Structures are given as structure tokens and as C-alpha cells.
């Protein structure tokens, strides 16, 4: 609205705003909340696939059998990214694991006390060795890496929801938060951002985003939505953010937010037109609430805005003075990233 894309008063015109959400209740409610916040008392429909009891391939084509992962290729890619093995990966993150052990009071666990009596060392990574599992439709990690990712995200949610003592009151400063959430980010780095996984998972969303950003294409129907539209809001998951980042080689850290894919985070794609020559440019950014804004329930406005990080498309060969990528350059990047077999 501040940039004139939508009118500041009244409801958007029909077709100006479209919302597509995954079938989960939380994503549908996210779409409804966006509509209510953007245009209160206006009838903006949240679109989902017709069958809300089944997974939507737009958000995970692997899970729905649209395409499959190459087991050997994906395994090699992830292990290479891990530094050679999952043991190497966890070994390089012992400082973060020790911080988690401190919060969990793991040294005082029965397991560690018994090992101490036998003069044996005790750590989460020893007690719970991590193993990579790759199938045609999924990648996962077992053991300490998986547990650490889950627990640190739980602590973050406790903090964000205003609970009095997140992590039993043992997490007290930003350095501790950053150290702990590095374990959650590390799992996403391996499982969601490795290109051999991310490109397959992200292809349907890349196709939809490309259609939405292309000026004056043939009118295409998607989920009851006619594209292009002024604003397309897609309510998905943190994994979708990571998949898109991995597929497009977009990297970011978020000031004041230790989680790289935080609740409510938005990957924003904007198409701008340069008036002097009518050329088209794409700006990509990550918009997010800081952890303190979440905890304080800070009302967001132009005066107290959310955090925003402008992102650089590494493979773009034509940029303007603002760092935006030409539409032609962005189209080439998307075409090289997408996996045709995973297209809907």
C-alpha cells in the first residue's frame, strides 16, 4: 500500500489479491490472518486444493509421488555438504551441542553419571549417533542432530510465546540463542537446502512464482486463482522457505532472529518496472519478526517495521544499481533450478 500497489482505503479490486494455502489448518489460518490484516471486512478467499485431506503437491511434490529423489546422488550430495560424513558434521558442532547439554542438564542424567563412574565421557552425540536416511520421497536424520533441531525450535517457540522461563530459565542472552539455533539451522542446511533435494521440492512453487511475476502471460488458472495478480500470498512452511533458498542459492542470516526460517518469515519476490526504458527487475527479500518482537507481541507498522534482508541471486548476470536481478536473468536462474519431472 505504501508503494501504491493497492489502494490505502477500501477493499482491493477483484483479482488484485490472491491467497493460496497448504491444506494444514495452520497454513489455512495463516492465509485467513493475512487477509484479515491486509483488508479487514473484505471478502478475500483463501484458496486450497479441492481435497484438503490429502497432501498438496505444490508444497511437496516428493511426498505426493509427482517425482522421486535419486537415492545415491542425494546421499553423496548431503554427505559432501556435511564434510564427508554425519559424524564429521556433528563433530564440527560440538560447541553448540555442549550448550544444548548445559540447557538440558545432560551431564546430570543417569546415563552420564553412570559413565562418569566408569571414567567414560558422555555427550549427546555419543549417546545418540546420527544417521542419514534417504528414500525416494524424503530425507531425514536420526539421533542427536534430529533431537537438537526439534528441542532448540521448541525453546525458540517458548521464547516467542512469552513463556517466563524458556529452556528452564537457562537461556538468557542472544549468544546462547544463536548457538542453540545453529543446530536447527544446521539440520535445515543439510536436509532442506542441499540443491539435489531443494530443487525437486521447490519446483512447483518456482513455477507458480514465475507465472505470478511474468507480466502479461496467458491467463492461467491455479487453485481458482487467475494469474498474474497484484499480490499473491502463498502460505506454506519453513521447509518451503529453505527449499526455495537452496534451489536459488539464496543465503541469509537474520539480525535479531536466530532461526533462519522463523515462524511468520516471508520470502518476498517483487517485480519492479524502470520507467526510463520499461525494463523489468526482480527484488528478493526475507521479511521476518525479530525474536524480541515476537516475545513482546510488537504491533508491526511503518514506524515499527519487521526485519527485512535484501537477498542477492548469486547466479544473476544482469543487476541494476539497487541490486535487483533482471526479469530475464531471474527467469534463466529459475529455469536452471527447476526439475521438469517435479512440475505439476
Task: Assess whether 256 and 284 both reside in one domain.
Answer: yes
DSSP-derived pairing of the beta strands 325-326 and 279-288: antiparallel
CA–CA separation, 8 and 170 (whole Å): 45
CA distances from 123 to 98, 143, 156 (A): 8, 12, 22
> What is the spatial distance between Cα 213 and Cα 207, in angstroms, rounded to a whole number?
10
Q: Could you tell me if residue 285 is inside a domain? A: yes
Q: Judge if 267 and 150 occupy the same domain.
A: no
C-alpha atoms less than 13 angstroms from C-alpha of 238 in its C-beta half-sphere: 14
* CA–CA separation, 91 and 197 (whole Å): 23
Q: In terms of domains, do 185 and 218 share one?
A: no
Choosing from 194, 209, 231, the residue where a domain stops is 194
* Residue 5 within a domain: no
Return per-residue pLDDT of the chain as tens, 344 residues: 767 789 888 999 988 999 999 999 999 999 999 999 999 999 999 999 999 999 999 999 999 999 999 999 999 999 999 999 999 999 999 999 999 999 999 999 999 999 999 999 999 999 999 999 999 999 999 999 999 999 999 999 999 999 999 999 999 999 999 999 999 999 999 999 999 999 999 999 999 999 999 987 667 777 889 898 999 999 999 999 999 999 999 999 999 999 999 999 999 999 999 999 999 999 999 999 999 999 999 999 999 999 999 999 999 999 999 999 999 999 999 999 999 999 99
Amino acid at each position: 500500500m505504501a508503494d501504491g500497489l493497492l489502494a490505502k482505503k477500501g477493499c482491493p479490486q477483484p483479482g488484485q489479491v490472491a491467497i493460496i494455502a497448504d491444506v494444514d489448518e495452520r497454513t489455512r489460518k495463516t492465509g485467513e490472518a493475512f487477509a484479515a490484516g491486509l483488508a479487514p471486512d473484505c471478502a478475500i478467499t483463501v484458496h486450497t486444493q479441492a481435497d484438503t485431506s490429502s497432501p498438496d503437491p505444490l508444497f511437496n511434490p516428493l511426498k505426493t509421488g509427482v517425482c522421486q529423489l535419486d537415492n545415491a546422488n542425494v546421499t553423496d550430495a548431503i554427505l559432501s555438504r556435511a564434510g564427508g560424513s554425519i559424524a564429521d558434521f556433528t563433530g564440527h558442532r560440538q560447541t553448540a551441542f555442549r550448550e544444548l547439554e548445559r540447557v538440558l542438564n545432560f551431564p546430570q542424567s543417569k546415563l552420564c553419571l553412570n559413565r562418569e563412574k566408569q571414567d567414560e565421557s558422555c555427550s549427546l552425540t555419543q549417546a545418540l549417533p546420527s544417521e542419514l536416511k534417504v528414500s525416494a520421497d524424503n530425507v531425514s536424520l536420526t539421533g542427536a542432530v534430529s533431537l537438537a533441531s526439534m528441542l532448540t525450535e521448541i525453546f525458540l517457540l517458548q521464547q516467542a510465546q512469552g513463556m517466563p522461563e524458556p529452556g528452564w530459565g537457562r537461556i538468557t542472552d542472544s549468544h546462547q540463542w544463536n548457538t542453540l539455533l545453529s543446530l536447527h539451522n544446521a539440520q535445515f542446511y543439510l536436509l532442506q537446502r542441499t540443491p539435489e533435494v531443494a530443487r525437486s521440492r521447490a519446483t512447483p512453487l518456482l513455477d507458480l512464482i514465475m507465472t505470478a511475476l511474468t507480466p502479461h502471460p496467458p491467463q492461467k488458472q491455479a487453485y481458482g486463482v487467475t494469474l498474474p495478480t497484484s499480490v499473491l500470498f502463498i502460505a506454506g512452511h519453513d521447509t518451503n522457505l529453505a527449499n526455495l533458498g537452496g534451489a536459488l542459492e539464496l543465503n541469509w542470516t537474520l539480525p535479531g532472529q536466530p532461526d533462519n526460517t522463523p515462524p511468520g518469515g516471508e520470502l518476498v519476490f517483487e517485480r519492479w518496472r524502470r520507467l526510463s526504458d520499461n525494463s523489468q527487475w526482480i527484488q528478493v527479500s526475507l521479511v521476518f519478526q525479530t525474536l524480541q518482537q515476537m516475545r513482546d507481541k510488537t504491533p508491526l507498522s511503518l514506524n515499527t517495521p519487521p526485519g527485512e534482508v535484501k537477498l542477492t541471486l548469486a547466479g544473476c548476470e544482469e543487476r541494476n544499481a539497487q541490486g535487483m536481478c533482471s526479469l530475464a536473468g531471474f527467469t534463466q536462474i529459475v529455469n536452471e533450478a527447476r526439475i521438469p519431472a517435479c512440475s505439476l
